[in-house]
């Protein structure tokens, strides 16, 4: 840790996150409250449409599962979307000073991370008043690990996307579409158990986002979710999404450091 983030860089990272946070809700009356209210509004809309009108959510604690799914997915979407433009938007810095380039997308992810923590606080308030939730001592152990996995996966994409965006500005639009598709391809609105074919469930669970959301639900909202051991005989399959996360991280860091030499002349 000390090697990756020497003191000087830690100071800088801290100031960058502070700046990002200060600027985000500037001149808005409700300020930081918005970062909590936005997912709640989204939750309210989706809940009314899918649970009340389409009668999708009959599972136990559907509402809480939906909220948790939204918060986790929102972090991924918001952080990658913000990080994508982070390098280009810091062009005035990059062209004039030799700051460690990798701090830029990391700072962007970090400020989305703080947002997610605020949102999770709200989730836990609901969980505290809920009944039949799956919270136990295991939650304290497993949930932080899942969040760590999610953060690493997000950082992997943030490195990749922010470096690609410097060269190819279409990435912004492409990623918007991909995010949209991802939202429906992972079980945020619908429970994974509603997916009728087992092989589709098997394939979906190889996506780290799906695995993280399902595992998180299993320790927080209710235990009846579909997890990797439920659809695979081989328990080693649990390692595949984790391997994908680290693979993506490796590729992201490699690509970013290869491209970052030329950021100053391209942005």
Partner 1 sequence: MSTNGMNDNNNISIKVENVSKQFLLPHQKAGTLKSFFVNPFSKFENEKQMALDGVSFEIKKGEFFGIVGRNGSGKSTLLKCMAGVYTPDKGHIKVNGSLVPFIELGVGFNPELSGRDNVYLNGALLGFSRPEIDAMYQEIVDFAEIEKFMDQKLKNYSSGMQVRLAFSIAIRAKSDILLLDEVLAVGDTNFQKKCFDYFEKIKRENKTVVLVTHDMGAIEKYCNRAILIEEGLIKSQGSAQEVAYLYAKNNKEIYFDNKLKNQNKSKEDFTTKGITCELMNDHGKESNKFNYGDTAILKLSWKNPEVKNIGVALIRQTGEYVFGANTILDNFDITDNNIGYNIKLDIGEGNYMFKIGFFGKDDSEKLEFIDEGPAVVIDSDTVQKWGGIVKLDHKWRNNV
- For partner 1, the binding residues (CB under 8 A) are 7-8, 11-12, 14-16, 18-19, 22-23, 26, 92-99, 167-170, 261-262, 264-265
Spatial distance between the Cα atoms of 147 and 104, rounded to a whole number of angstroms: 21
- The CA-atom distances, in angstroms, between 91 and each of 166, 181, 259, 267 are 10, 30, 14, 6
Minimum CB separation of residue 10 from partner 1 in Å reads 8
Comparing CB distances to partner 1, the nearer of 5 and 12 is 12
- 154, 79 contact by CB (below 8 A): yes
Minimum CB separation of residue 38 from partner 1 in Å reads 21
Minimum CB separation of residue 104 from partner 1 in Å reads 12
144-10-72 Cα angle (round to 5): 30
CB atoms within 10 A of CB 231: 17
> CA 144: distance to chain centroid?
13
Spatial distance between the Cα atoms of 180 and 108, rounded to a whole number of angstroms: 21
Comparing CB distances to partner 1, the nearer of 1 and 236 is 1
Minimum CB separation of residue 217 from partner 1 in Å reads 37
Minimum CB separation of residue 200 from partner 1 in Å reads 31
Comparing CB distances to partner 1, the nearer of 8 and 52 is 8
Comparing CB distances to partner 1, the nearer of 89 and 202 is 89
Q: What is the DSSP letter of 251?
A: H
């Amino acid at each position: 840790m000390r090697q990756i983030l020497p003191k000087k860089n830690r100071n800088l990272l801290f100031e960058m996150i502070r700046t990002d946070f200060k600027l985000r809700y500037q001149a808005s009356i409700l300020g930081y409250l918005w970062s909590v209210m936005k997912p709640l509004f989204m939750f309210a809309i989706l809940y009314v449409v899918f649970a009340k009108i389409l009668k999708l959510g009959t599972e136990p604690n559907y509402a809480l599962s939906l909220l948790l799914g939204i918060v986790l997915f929102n972090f991924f979407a918001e952080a990658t979307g913000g990080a994508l433009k982070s390098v280009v938007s810091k062009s005035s810095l990059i062209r004039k000073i030799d700051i460690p380039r990798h701090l830029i997308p990391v700072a962007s992810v970090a400020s989305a991370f703080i947002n997610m923590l605020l949102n999770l606080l709200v989730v836990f308030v609901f969980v505290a008043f809920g009944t039949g939730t799956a919270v136990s001592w295991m939650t304290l152990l497993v949930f932080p690990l899942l969040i760590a996995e999610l953060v690493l996966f997000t950082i992997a994409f943030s490195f990749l996307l922010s470096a690609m965006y410097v060269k190819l500005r279409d990435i912004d639009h492409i990623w918007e579409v991909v995010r949209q598709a991802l939202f429906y391809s992972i079980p945020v609105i619908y429970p994974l158990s509603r997916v009728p074919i087992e092989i589709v469930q098997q394939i979906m669970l190889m996506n780290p986002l799906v695995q993280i959301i399902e595992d998180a639900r299993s320790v927080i909202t209710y235990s009846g979710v579909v997890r990797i051991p439920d659809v695979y005989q081989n328990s080693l399959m649990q390692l595949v999404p984790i391997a994908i996360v680290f693979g993506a991280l490796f590729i992201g860091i490699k690509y970013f450091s290869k491209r970052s030499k030329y950021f100053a002349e391209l942005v």
